[in-house]
Structure 1
Amino acid sequence: MPTLLLLLASNVFMTIAWYWHLKGGMAKPLLLVILISWGIALIEYCLAVPANRIGYAHGWSGAQLKVAQEAIALTVFGAFMVLYLGEPLHWRHLGAFVCLMGAVGFLFAGK
């Protein structure tokens, strides 16, 4: 459980680091946006690295860690896209989520 919670928190910070500037931030100088995003991403790394170490120490494979991270990232970004960027969800988003959950299922089957 700590692995999933840390991955969730890290993905929230990474999504913000990568995409916060798209709404109302296009007028900011690119170098400033990069530096701010870099600072936010540092927090993400401080959460993601322990998440991966804990997960690996508890028997998760590298592939399981990565696919879990991607599934969480898609979920976090979906919420960010709707709540912050104001973009609508479409059936394609659900299709992508179902495919990614299938990948999670394949990698964690029999675990």
Structure 2
Amino acid sequence: MLNSGDIVEVDLGTPIGSEAGLRRPAVVVTAVGVLRGDPNVVQVVPLTRTIRSSGAEVYIEPDDDNQLSAPSAAQCQHVRSVSITRLTTKQGNVGPVTLAEVREVLGLLLDL
């Protein structure tokens, strides 16, 4: 079962313009109550190893829990809904503090 904050490998397909795309890790941001219902679609925020000074991205340092191989940034500006069939492997979890930071940035971007 997926949990909020899980890092999963996702196939985002061929990008157009500046979209995040291809196969990459992403953070599951779907609410745990929704995940308990075994949804067909989940919301993810793609990760990149290209670190920018952007208010729309959250920096993530690799650790034993998230199992990232390099410093990464959660690209909140690229949040999207994807079919669970696009998800392959689960590698770790960003933890509650980083998940809260990602959700806070999403809230700002979406004016919630």
Instruction: Return the index of the structure with the highest Cα Rg.
Output: 1
Output the TM-score relative to the length of structure 2: 0.26
Report which of the two has the higher share of helix: 1
Report which of the two has the higher share of strand: 2
Output the TM-score relative to the length of structure 1: 0.26
Structure with higher RCO (Cα < 8 A, 6+ apart):
1
